[in-house]
Amino acid sequence: MKRGLVESLALEGTALTVTLAPTLPVEARTLAAATAIRVFDRYTVIDRVIIVTGADKVSLSRGEVEHLLRSESLAGLDGRQRWRHAVARVAAGLPTPEGERP
């Protein structure tokens, strides 16, 4: 992540909350998807990632991300193209600001 995007991090039990700047250079859902994939890949103890930006909050469990990735494993996302497709797939499955899935 770019410097200045992250305002704070909080770890409570097995949940990581990442508070981001209210103005982002990319769509918050895309950033939430990318953050969750990376965190779950690197830190097996984390079971939930919560992304907060302004008034919006997106909460993702490890199971939700694995389900949205379907047959891809977190560790298998080594190529840039595969990574981009995985992030897009997870972001597409995230709730819209109104709380509905697209």
The pLDDT value given to residue 81: 59
* pLDDT tens-digit profile, the chain (102 residues): 556 788 899 999 999 999 988 877 777 788 888 889 889 988 999 999 998 988 888 899 999 888 888 766 555 555 555 667 778 878 888 766 544 344
CB-count burial class (<10 Å; 0-12, 13-18, 19+) for 47: middle
Strands 56-61 and 6-12, bridge-based pairing: unpaired
